[in-house]
Amino acid sequence: MQLVAQIVLNGVLLGGFYACMALGFSIVWGVMNVVNLAYGSMIMIGAYVTQMAVLQLGLPFAAALPLAALATFTMGYVLQRALLNRLAERSVFMTLIFTFGLNMALINLNLILFSADVRSLPDVFGRASFTIAGLSVPYGRATIFAVAMAMTLGLHALLNWTPLGNAIKATSFDPDAARLSGIDVPHVYALTFAIGGAIAGVTGALVATSYSFSPVAGESYTMKAFVVVVLGGLGSIPGAIIGGMLLGIVENLASLFLDSGYRDAVGFTLLLLVLVLRPRGLMGRRFFAEVKG
């Protein structure tokens, strides 16, 4: 019982991180109908920027994290503005293929710039842990969970209580009506991709603190973002939290019973089941998830 409780707790902590990571992917998909297969590479760029800022510039982690977010924010804005906006009217698999190509190019650039070495940024939060009700919680995991939840709430506030949030939602419901009411649609698209990018950057900074990373490690994060978004439902913040925690708990439970090689496959089995049984996800709202082609 104690063991199961510990595993569920670990799953919830990991799930909070997954939820935050998936939101950056989900907002781009929900608003522009773009499945960004280069998302994982953007997370890796966030991780590399964080590592360089801490090890080479000597910045504290708290300063490195916004720097990573800024880097991927800018990258996201430029990508959408210069390239992806041109594909807005095309069929969905054109953008899918496009971002796959982008991902290859980014992996290659990361390989050239940072080499294929597996890196990590040890001891940002120390190795200590505290206990609640007999369950141990490492400070590092707890901090990641807290930052991820803060990002999630921040995004919720941005989307619901600011003019920019209204513009983003209006554009995602009906780009033509948004254009007619004076919204600069290409700019809003670019800002949305940039926000998704900033979340990728923060995720990357968090990855750097407690996981090892390399140029090719990004793909597994893209896949997990997929699973969380499909589980929770596209464009839903509560859905992302539920989907993230579900994936976190299931992955941790599966590692009890199955070989660790099945870890990713378990998530995908869950994904296939949800797609077949409930294609809109557990919490998906209809208008966001409408399939456009």
Partner 1 sequence: MAALLARWRSSPWAGSLRTAALSCALLAILVVLPPFLSLYWLRLLTSVLMLAVIAQGMNAMAGFVGYPAFGNVVFFGMGAYGAALAMTAGFGVAPALLIGAVPAAVLALAVGPLLLRLRGHYFAIATLGLNEVVSALAANLSGFTGGAAGLSLPLGAGTASDAAYRAYSGFVALFAASLALGIFLRDSRFGYGCRAIRANEEAAEATGVATLRVKSIAWMLSALLTAAAGGLYARWVGFIEPSQVFDMSISVKAFVMFLLGGAGTVFGPLIGSLLIESATTLAWSHLLKFHLLILGVTIMLVVLMLPDGAQGFVARHWPAVRAWLRHRS
Does the footprint of partner 1 cover residue 90 (CB under 8 A)? yes
Cα separation, 59 vs 64, whole angstroms: 6
77 binds partner 1 (CB under 8 A): no
Contact pick of 25, 39, 77, 98 for partner 1 (by CB under 8 A)? 98
CA dihedral sign, ordered 258, 264, 267, 269: negative
Residue 35 CB, nearest distance to partner 1 (Å)?
A: 5
Helix (H), strand (E), coil (C) string for 68-119 = HHHHHHHHHHHHHHHCHHHHCCCCHHHHHHHHHHHHHHHHHHHHHHHCCCCE
Q: Which stretch binds partner 1 (CB under 8 A): 48-56, 87-95, 180-188, 190-198?
A: 87-95
Part in contact with partner 1 (CB under 8 A); list of ranges 27-35, 120-128, 136-144, 206-214: 27-35
Rounded distance between C-alpha atoms, residue 217 and residue 222, angstroms: 10
- Reading phi first (left if > 0) and then psi (alpha if -120 to 50, else beta), residue 90 is in beta
Identify which range of 6-14, 54-62, 222-230, 242-250 contacts partner 1 by CB under 8 A. 222-230
CB of 63 to partner 1, least distance (A): 31
Cβ count within 10 A of residue 173:
13
**Measured distance CA(67)–CA(61) in Å, rounded:** 10
Interaction between residue 107 and partner 1 (CB under 8 A): yes
Segment interacting with partner 1, rule: CB under 8 A, options 58-66, 167-175, 181-189, 223-231 = 223-231
- Nearest of 205, 182, 257, 161 to residue 70 by alpha carbon: 205
- Residues interacting with partner 1, by CB under 8 A? 29, 33, 35, 83, 86-87, 90, 92-98, 100-109, 111-112, 223, 226, 230, 259, 261-262, 264-265, 268-269, 271-272, 275-276, 279, 291-293
